[in-house]
Amino acid sequence: MSASPVTLMVARRVASGRYHDFNRWLNEGRELAADFPGYLGSGVLAPPNHDDEYQIIFRFSSSDTLHAWEHSASRHAWLLRGKDLYDAPQEHRALGLDAWFQTAAGSPPPRWKQAVAVWLAFFPISLVFQWVFGSVLADWALVPRVLVSTLMLTPIMVFVFIPLSTRLLAPWLQGKWSLVDIWTRLRHVSRT
């Protein structure tokens, strides 16, 4: 078993007409997981328009703590309560940074592509943070200033901006698009 953080990613297609019940059930499961030792967080990526597959992410401090949650009686009861709300789930476990970039199709992209995706998520939110809070924090000592900024930005990065960046850049990360394709699409979007 691993001593490093582990991410469980589950893809679930919502049963027809059951979105409200599914979301309520899903929130119940996230609250349940939060009560377990080693729980580090969870997130949900809603499907794009005209799709019904949700990506649910649970993160635990180790394989052992994830295993304890996965095999608990309370999780088993929760899964039974939701069995009619979704179709055939797909599950995948990933360790470390690769968890954000792992695809069902195979191995994660090269580290340099991962670094670009993280930077593209980090730069705009850091810029906005500095614009909004920079003058307030300017007179603070270095350690408290960095502590406050990282405490505020890390959850936003982990649960919103990095998943968004990896989702938007998925074709490039998976080698389906080149940088020229992305540049062309960005120029097209900026003109409309």
Paired tokens of 161:
């901006």
Sheet holding 6-14, edge to edge: 39-45, 53-60, 6-14, 86-95
Residue 94 in this model has a pLDDT that exceeds 60 = no
Indicate the pLDDT class of residue 51, thresholds 50, 70 and 90. Answer: confident
What is the mean predicted confidence (pLDDT) over 133-152?
87
What per-residue confidence (pLDDT) applies to 76? 92
What per-residue confidence (pLDDT) applies to 105? 47
Residue with the larger pLDDT of the pair 77 and 178: 77
Residue 1 in this model has a pLDDT that exceeds 90 = no
Question: To the nearest whole number, what is the mean pLDDT of the chain?
Answer: 80
All structural domains of the chain with their residue ranges: 6-96, 111-191
Q: What is the pTM of this model?
A: 0.51
Architecture per CATH, domain 6-96, reads as: 2-Layer Sandwich (3.30)
What per-residue confidence (pLDDT) applies to 15? 84
